[in-house]
Amino acid sequence: MHLQWANVPAGRFRMGNNEDIACRAPEFLVRISKRFSMLSAPVTQETWVGLMNSRPWGNAEEVLTGFKEGNDFPATAMTHAEASEFCRRLTTHLGSKCRLPSDAEWEYSIRAGSQTTYFWGESRDVAHEFAVISDLDAKRALGPVMTRKPNAFGLYDMAGLVREWVLDKCDTEDMNISKDHYPTNETSDFVHIDGTVGIVRNGHWRARIGNCSSSYKLLRPLDDRMQDVGFRVLMEQ
């Protein structure tokens, strides 16, 4: 099993966006106290089948226009629990602790030191160089991983291709994250693992450019099976 990892240093950043309702999170400071490694791209179909011996994208709730199968294409349509089980098996296989990244770790990783709307800056004109999304890719089709430029941490497809499960869960109020979910003061290694709803990050091949912002997130049922949702793995150091 060949896996490419990127090293992410410890650090401090401002999470969320007070002005962007789609981010569903107010701004607050987060300190990431330990460095970690992150898969350079979403888990591929080949890697998923090799470890799990299943094809969840074939049992999706809806067949999406543009969805494709291929060894180097992202694995999708797994539930939150199945993504976590993949990480557990990978831990056994590698001998190092693997898991889903937390909401904060994921956002820290996409920003890679930036505080702009998109990790590459503010310009929408260059988005196609970094993200596979619908209003920049006329084919509107799922493609293989790592065909666009990475961010400053060496992570590919953080702003497009497929949405990604994170470790965190939440409860909701009026179809939004509960107001007491996020802290109001600076916190270290923020994670919220209790709740009835899952959180997914990233845009995807069918999404508009607004979904590519570093603060964007969406809520999904934990047992959701959608062909536009995959994940990547964090390995603790």
Residues whose CB is less than 8 angstroms from the CB of residue 57 and which lie 6 or more positions away in sequence, other chains included? 45, 67, 69, 75, 76, 77, 227
The pLDDT of residue 13 is 96
DSSP 111-125: HTT--SSBTTBS-ST
Give me the residue spans of the domains in the chain: 5-236
The pLDDT of residue 23 is 63
The pLDDT of residue 160 is 93
The pLDDT of residue 137 is 62
Predicted confidence (pLDDT) per residue in 194-216, tens digit:
999 999 999 999 988 888 999 99
The pLDDT of residue 65 is 87
CATH architecture of 5-236: Alpha-Beta Complex (3.90)
Rounded (10°) CA dihedral 92, 97, 100, 101? -160
Predicted confidence (pLDDT) per residue in 128-168, tens digit:
899 998 876 666 789 999 999 999 999 999 999 999 999 99
Q: How far is CA 199 from the centre of its chain?
A: 9
The pLDDT of residue 182 is 84
The pLDDT of residue 138 is 61
For residues 217 and 237, give the distance between their C-alpha atoms in angstroms, rounded to a whole number: 26
Residues whose CB is less than 8 angstroms from the CB of residue 47 and which lie 6 or more positions away in sequence, other chains included? 1, 3, 75
Q: Which amino acid is at 45?
A: Q
Using alpha carbons, list the distances in angstroms from residue 138 to 124, 128, 135, 141: 16, 11, 7, 8
**Can you list the residues of the chain whose pLDDT is less than 50?**
none
The pLDDT of residue 171 is 87
